[in-house]
């Protein structure tokens, strides 16, 4: 762990808002991404400028189709932008790498590996000594309450359990950055809240920079230091909202609800454009 992350970990976990002074870690500049689908190109992202500081928990919020995954994939290095650059720690991103651990909505666990093997896989790639891998896997399984499931295959796990394994797998890499694409989107409300709390606990403990995609307004307020609201086609940054409430956040608090109303208003505007677009595309056929 770098000294920087140590400082964060040793800080005041519950009310830590020091990211405002931390150095910039992810820097997105003038990013544009268009897809050629049929006759006219789809501009999924346009003029995206975004700086994310070390240790910050940032949510990308917007209706479906507004380019959240596209932006996350550009940072992950899966899809290079059509124009513009993404830099991480001053290095231009051209390909995926274990410094930016990704958690997918579809879990993306390797079904032929057991829970423990899935968690260990990234470490084996790093050619870590066997004993050290075993120790680290054990620690992570404990951290995510997976000890009793270590020898199960993913097919025998619930959605929530699978996502725990996926989180343990990227945590094993000890990457400074976590990228999460609607990781809890397929889970029931209760499991979702449990995992949100666990994610926050782990984040406060190990101090990662997290870029978290969601279309749930409530989820973004519950989790984030900062919420980036996106527009629909072209995907741009509509608003950059700082969330100052101390954690754990109470979803019934007046402040929470005020912010929720405000964000709902913004997301609804974009959602309407999305719906109109869908109707147009149906009637055009």
Partner 1 sequence: MSRAKSPFSPAAVLRGALVPMLVVALWQGLSMSGLINPVVLPSPVAVVERWWAYLLPPDPYDPAQGSWFLWALSGEMLFDAWSSLYRVVLGFAVGAGLALPLGLAMGGKPRIYALMDPLLQILRPIPPIAYIPLAILWFGLGNAPAVFLIAIGAFFPVLMNTIAGVRHVDGIYLRAARNLGVGRTTMFIRVILPAATPYILAGARIGIGTAFIVVIVSEMIAVNSGLGFRILEAREFMWSDKIIAGMFTIGLLGLAIDIGMNRLNNHLLRWHRGLEN
The total of other beta-carbon atoms located within 10 Å of residue 143's CB is: 18
The total of other beta-carbon atoms located within 10 Å of residue 154's CB is: 20
Contact (Cβ atoms closer than 8 angstroms) between residue 85 and residue 62: no
**Would you tell me which residues interact with ligand ADP (CB under 6 A)?**
35, 37, 42, 44, 62, 64-70
Based on CB atoms, which residue is closest to Mg ion, 69 or 175? 69
Measured CA to CA, the distance from residue 132 to residue 111 in angstroms comes to: 24
Partner from partner 1, ligand ADP, Mg ion, none binding residue 155, C-beta < 5-8 Å depending on class? partner 1
Pick the binder of partner 1 from 43, 108, 134, 206 (CB under 8 A). Answer: 108
- 96 forms part of the interface with partner 1 (CB under 8 A): yes
Q: Tokens in use for 106? A: 């579809």
Q: Which stretch binds partner 1 (CB under 8 A): 109-117, 131-139, 200-208, 232-240?
A: 109-117
Based on CB atoms, which residue is closest to partner 1, 69 or 220? 69
- 122 forms part of the interface with partner 1 (CB under 8 A): yes
Partner from partner 1, Mg ion, ligand ADP, none binding residue 35, C-beta < 5-8 Å depending on class? ligand ADP
Beta bridge partners of 222: none
Nearest distance, CB of residue 6 and Mg ion, angstroms = 34
Based on CB atoms, which residue is closest to ligand ADP, 44 or 241? 44
Nearest distance, CB of residue 185 and Mg ion, angstroms = 9
- 266 forms part of the interface with partner 1 (CB under 8 A): no
Q: Tokens in use for 32? A: 């544009």
Site for partner 1 in 146-165 (CB under 8 A): 153-155
Q: Mention every residue, 6+ apart, whose C-beta is less than 8 A from residue 167.
A: 103, 144, 183, 195, 198, 199, 202
Measured CA to CA, the distance from residue 115 to residue 120 in angstroms comes to: 9
Measured CA to CA, the distance from residue 155 to residue 30 in angstroms comes to: 42
Contact string (CB under 5 A) for Mg ion, positions 68-107, x = contact:
-x--------------------------------------
Cα end-to-end distance, the chain, whole Å: 55
Pick the binder of partner 1 from 1, 15, 30, 106 (CB under 8 A). Answer: 106
Phi, psi (rounded to 5 degrees) for 11:
-70, -160
Rounded to the nearest 10 degrees, the angle between the axes of helix 115-125 and helix 130-143 is 130
What residue ranges bind Mg ion (CB under 5 A)?
Answer: 69
């Amino acid at each position: 762990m770098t000294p920087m992350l140590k400082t964060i970990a040793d800080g005041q976990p519950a009310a830590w808002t020091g990211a405002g002074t931390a150095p910039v870690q992810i820097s997105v500049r003038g990013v544009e991404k268009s897809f050629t689908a049929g006759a006219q190109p789809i501009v999924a992202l346009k003029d995206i400028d975004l700086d994310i500081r070390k240790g910050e928990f940032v949510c990308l919020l917007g209706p479906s189709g507004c380019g959240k995954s596209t932006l996350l994939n550009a940072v992950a290095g899966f899809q290079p932008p059509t124009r513009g650059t993404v830099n991480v720690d001053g290095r231009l991103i051209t390909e995926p790498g274990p410094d930016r651990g990704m958690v997918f909505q579809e879990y993306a666990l390797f079904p032929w590996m057991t829970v423990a093997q899935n968690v260990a896989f990234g470490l084996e790639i790093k050619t870590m000594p066997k004993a050290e891998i075993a120790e680290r896997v054990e620690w992570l399984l404990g951290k995510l309450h997976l000890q009793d499931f270590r020898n199960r295959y993913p097919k025998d796990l619930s959605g929530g359990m699978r996502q725990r394994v996926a989180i343990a797998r990227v945590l094993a890499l000890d990457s400074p950055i976590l990228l999460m694409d609607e990781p809890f989107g397929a889970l029931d409300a209760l499991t979702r809240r449990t995992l949100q709390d666990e994610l926050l606990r782990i984040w406060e403990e190990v101090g990662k920079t997290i870029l978290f995609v969601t279309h749930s307004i409530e989820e973004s307020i519950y989790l984030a230091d900062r919420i980036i609201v996106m527009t629909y086609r072209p995907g741009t940054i509509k608003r950059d909202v700082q969330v100052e409430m101390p954690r754990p956040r109470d979803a019934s608090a007046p402040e929470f609800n005020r912010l929720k109303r405000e964000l709902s208003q913004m997301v609804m505007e974009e959602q309407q454009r999305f719906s109109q677009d869908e109707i147009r595309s149906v009637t055009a056929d």
